[in-house]
Structure 1
Amino acid sequence: MSGFAYQVAEGATRRLDPHEAVCAQGGFVWIHLTSRDEEVQDWLRDNAGLDHFTIDALTALETRPRCEQIDGAAVLNLRGMTHAAMASSDPLASIRLRADGARVISVTRLPLDALDAAREAIEAGQISDAGDLIATLAGAITEQLDPEVAQLGDSLDDCEEQLDPRMAFDLRRNVNHVRRQAIGYRRFLYPQRVALEKLAGLAVAWLSDEDRLHIGAAADRAARMAEELESIRERAALIHETLTDLRAEVIDQRSLLIAVVAMVFLPLTFITGLFGMNVDGIPYAHHAGSFWAITGFSLAIAVGVGLWFVRRHWFR
């Protein structure tokens, strides 16, 4: 198990070991733990003295953003960007928090990028209580997600500008990638908006009005990104359908060209087959100009059939 801790007391910020932070008196304490094993569960039970429900919420393997109030404390789960490799269906790492007026305990299984912003803020003296910390984390998470969502929209714009049946395979692959990412982000942003809105409305004294405003702003931003992701998903589906239609149109045009060529050569095949029979009695078989006469006749038929197709507008 690894982690870090900070204590903010009397305007000063002090870096502590998580074991020391549990016993720290006065001020505000933030304890963060990073682990994938059961050691965190034992530490939360034996050292932090948390109840079974809270421990399960902080260490569950499969999580979705949510917010619950337990005995005056908020148990919060959020999702944010991570530089670790993630599956396309689960692209965001989770951070689980238990916060009250004097202490915040957070747990992650993967490195969360927003933690760096929160640590910089607390070391700079910008965080003095639990409300400030949660508002900073929520703001950093949404701020880091915003350009990622915008980049997905820009990628679709590029695909729309390059719509060409000759590039259908590459474009379809890019569009499917964008669509998978949008679905993965949207899966967590909608419940994250609900969790942040619920947190902003909790009847707890340690959340100030300013903290509630910042958390509400993060919820609104999450809602806007979720709506943008829904739009991206729908646009990706329309682009995919357009590429399919363009591909089908190319196939139809080529099939039409093959049909026209076959129709042109159908009577010529009959003529050459008829005069190419190896039997006696074929007219003009021994005539000196018969070959050129039949060739000219065949060319005339080919031109006539081609003109007929043109007049019927088969090539439009």
Structure 2
Amino acid sequence: MQDAAQLTDSQNSETPLLFGRVLDGRGGGRPVTWDQVQNWQPDAPGEVLWLHVCRIQPGVQDWLENSFAIPEPTAELLVSDNTRPRAFAEGNALIATLRGINFNPGAEPEDMISMQLWCDGARLITLRRHPLQTPREVLANIDRGTGPVDAGATITMLAELMIARMNQSIVDMNEVIDLLEDEDPEDNPEGMLKRISTIRRNCLALQRHMSPQHEALEHISRDSPPWFEDHDRREIAESIARLRRYLDDIDISKESAVVLQDELRARSLASSEHATYMLTVVAGVFLPLSFLTGLLGINVGGMPGTDDPEAFWRVVVLCAAVLAGLLILFRRLRWL
């Protein structure tokens, strides 16, 4: 089924349509071409037209305005790069912008892909700029005959799958944190701090991008037109609860990363302070010896022992005695 979906994209590469299905109301659907959707009318009660469109193709906004009588400001919103999640009702139509995790090759977890949608209960249009896997999953279910039965169920399934995909990114970040907690900080502290900083940035980005989606889903549940049925609202409520749990998990991951980062920095600071302390102790030990040798090394007349061949060894014994006395004193002061 996935290969068939990709083939549909290839066949419609010269048109905005990525794929289209007419839902039969029983979980299945039949494909439709770009020419067939222009004047589409349901052949049987309960049929719903779902079109997945690339919004950056030329003429998409005019097509929305002329073929679906969508007001110009709304059509402009559907094809714009304003991707902040939102949802509102306009007459009998529902308009929404949702975000999903970007799992395309080379993408970072915090990279998000937006999907705009417009639906009047009988026709559903989803629009995207970059490839998005969620609509493909729903399409595969439809082609297997286990997909949504109406427009409301399609919207709820899209939202549910988008939110469910967040879980993998959160699990991956938690696994990295667990591995970092088990590692020895002395092995590669700089590398560990770099990975922790990356996790914190990912958590902040996910939280910043996905928190508005919580509000958008609540608007869908609360303000949708009558064709969005009660069971659809319950499904959206479940998605909202799941998203809230995921946002809480992101908070926990972020706090865990902060604790681990603080612990590494505390260890690094303690190690640096210990090195500074030891240097201070060494300087304290050798300062009197340096003063003594410096005093005896001045090149002026009258220095004692200049004519005594045993004077050097007396100075060595004196320095050793001073060193031993300083070590005993530092030991009693608990400096060593």
TM-score, normalisation: structure 2:
0.86
**Residue correspondence of structure 1 range 1-316 to structure 2 within 5 A:** 1-9=16-24, 11=26, 13-26=29-42, 27-84=47-104, 85-86=106-107, 91-125=111-145, 126-162=147-183, 164=185, 167-315=188-336
Provide the C-alpha distance between the structure 2 equivalents of 1:7 and 1:228, rounded to a whole number of angstroms: 38
> What displacement does 1:78 show?
0.8
Task: Kindly provide the CA deviation profile for residues 120-173 of structure 1, in whole angstroms up to 9, marking residues without a partner as x.
Answer: 112122222111211111111111111211222232233333362663321221
Question: Which residue of the partner structure matches residue 12 of structure 2?
Answer: none
Where 1:201 maps in the other structure, the secondary structure is helix
Where 2:88 maps in the other structure, the secondary structure is strand
Contact 2:55/2:79, CA 8 A, preserved across alignment: no
Q: How many residue pairs end up in the alignment?
A: 314
RMSD value over aligned CA atoms?
A: 2.2
Provide the C-alpha distance between the structure 2 equivalents of 1:19 and 1:188, rounded to a whole number of angstroms: 37
Provide the C-alpha distance between the structure 1 equivalents of 2:95 and 2:214, rounded to a whole number of angstroms: 15
Contact 2:118/2:124, CA 8 A, preserved across alignment: yes
Where 2:188 maps in the other structure, the secondary structure is helix
Contact 1:6/1:21, CA 8 A, preserved across alignment: no
Task: Kindly provide the CA deviation profile for residues 160-192 of structure 1, in whole angstroms up to 9, marking residues without a partner as x.
Answer: 333626633212211111111111111122221
Provide the C-alpha distance between the structure 1 equivalents of 2:269 and 2:24, rounded to a whole number of angstroms: 69
Identity of aligned residues (%): 26
CA gap of 1:29–1:91, structure 2 versus 1, over 3 A, is same
CA gap of 1:19–1:219, structure 2 versus 1, over 3 A, is farther
Contact 2:49/2:124, CA 8 A, preserved across alignment: yes
> What displacement does 1:86 show?
4.8
Provide the C-alpha distance between the structure 1 equivalents of 2:90 and 2:271, rounded to a whole number of angstroms: 62
CA gap of 1:255–1:157, structure 2 versus 1, over 3 A, is same
TM-score, normalisation: structure 1:
0.91
Task: Kindly provide the CA deviation profile for residues 75-114 of structure 1, in whole angstroms up to 9, marking residues without a partner as x.
Answer: 11111122335577x6110011011211100100111121
Contact 1:165/1:250, CA 8 A, preserved across alignment: no
Task: Kindly provide the CA deviation profile for residues 218-254 of structure 1, in whole angstroms up to 9, marking residues without a partner as x.
Answer: 1111111112212322333333333333222222111
Contact 1:193/1:220, CA 8 A, preserved across alignment: no
> What displacement does 1:37 show?
4.8
Provide the C-alpha distance between the structure 1 equivalents of 2:172 and 2:262, rounded to a whole number of angstroms: 22
Provide the C-alpha distance between the structure 2 equivalents of 1:257 and 1:46, rounded to a whole number of angstroms: 80
Q: Which amino acid aligns with 2:68?
A: A
Contact 2:89/2:224, CA 8 A, preserved across alignment: no
